[in-house]
Amino acid sequence: MLITEEHLRAYQENGFIFLPEYFSKAEVEVMKAALPRVFAENSPQRVMEKEGSSVRSVYGSHVGNDVFHRLSRHPRIVAPVMRILGGDVYVYQFKINAKAAFGGDVWEWHQDYIFWHKEDGMPAARAVNVIIFIDEVSEFNGPLFFIPGSHKEGMIDVPARDALSMNEAGVPESYRHSPPWITNLTARLKYSLDRETVAEMVAEHGIVAPKGSSGSVLFSHPNIIHGSPNNISPFDRVLIIITYNSTQNIPVGVVERRPEFLASHDFKPVVPLRDDALL
Ligand code: SIN
Ligand code: MN
């Protein structure tokens, strides 16, 4: 039994569950050792921070990289996700968020589902994020902030920040020639929540910042309100975030699809590997 009935209730109540040191140090080392190669690959799947020199995120590494492929099929991840969603799932998106020491930039307050619904046509919020701490996450290195219970508000339909206002706000030169979907991935997000909404939600529900050593894992709901501050500490904060979608919730109706590495069209159900898949 990987997650209990109590975990499931907590997920439904709070919109997330936190499992400290869920992966062993040996398993974390295997994942960590696979990072330099994917960070070094200069491709559209790699998004730099706006200063242009450090990696912000890398997308879709579960396809080309054997370690991350196996991670995306790890039973300790996939079995709880199937339990939460009640059936077969596929990998919708796989990303590594680097949040580098002395430079990792913010993620503004947002909900994930609005991106998947509006950009990709995901019909319902029947997906789960699995967030794996590759480094220790502390109060210093830009932890994720969650507003617990905020997923119960459903999708808050904020207007898209349009391209013009992005430019007026000064989209850094380094992104100026990027495709339109870049605004889903940078510090200035296309669908971020305004201050009034966040203040209201926090007054009602509070804020938590789950912290813990490497190998810890969060499972979170697509509508939980979250964000993270920048990292001015000397400590990296690498997270791997894998989004699984129910095979009953295939996106529909979007003509201009985002690239495969942002919204996968490989709907084949994930078949979990053995528990020692990373070792
Ligand atoms: C996200 O919201 O998808 C990522 C936030 C983070 O890496 O801190
Ligand atoms: Mn997010």
Strands of 140-254 (E only): list them: 145-147, 217-220, 225-228, 239-246
Cβ distance 92 to 222 under 8 Å? no
Each of the 279 residues of the chain gets a pLDDT tens digit; together they read 689 999 999 999 999 999 999 999 999 999 999 999 999 999 999 999 998 899 999 999 999 999 999 999 999 999 999 999 999 999 999 999 999 999 999 999 999 999 999 999 999 999 999 999 999 999 999 999 999 999 999 999 999 986 545 554 445 566 777 887 777 777 679 999 999 999 999 999 999 999 999 999 999 999 999 999 999 999 999 999 999 999 999 999 999 999 999 999 999 999 999 999 999
Q: Is 268 part of a structural domain of the chain?
A: no
Q: Is 266 part of a structural domain of the chain?
A: no
Which residues are near ligand 2, the ion (C-beta closer than 5 Å)?
A: 112
Q: Is 279 part of a structural domain of the chain?
A: no
> pTM (2 decimals)?
0.95
Q: Is 252 part of a structural domain of the chain?
A: no
For ligand 1, what atom is nearest to the CA of residue 239? Answer: 7
Q: Is 228 part of a structural domain of the chain?
A: yes
**Total domain count, the chain:** 1
Query: How many Å lie between the centroid of ligand 2 and the Cα of residue 228?
Result: 9
Among 67, 74, 22, 65, CA closest to 271: 74
Q: Is 92 part of a structural domain of the chain?
A: yes
Query: How many Å lie between the centroid of ligand 1 and the Cα of residue 248?
Result: 26
Q: Is 174 part of a structural domain of the chain?
A: yes
Identify the CATH number of the domain in which residue 102 sits.
2.60.120.620
**Ligand nearest the Cα atom of residue 224:** 2
User: Ligand 1 atom 7: the closest Cα is on which residue?
Assistant: 97
Cα–Cα distance for residue pair 218/199, rounded to 1 Å? 24
Q: Is 257 part of a structural domain of the chain?
A: no
Which of 54, 134, 239, 242 best tests ligand 1's pocket when mutated (most atoms within 8 Å of CB)? 239
97 within ligand 1 shell (Cβ under 6 A)? yes
Domain span at 31: 5-246
H or E segment at 110?
strand 107-110
239 within ligand 1 shell (Cβ under 6 A)? yes
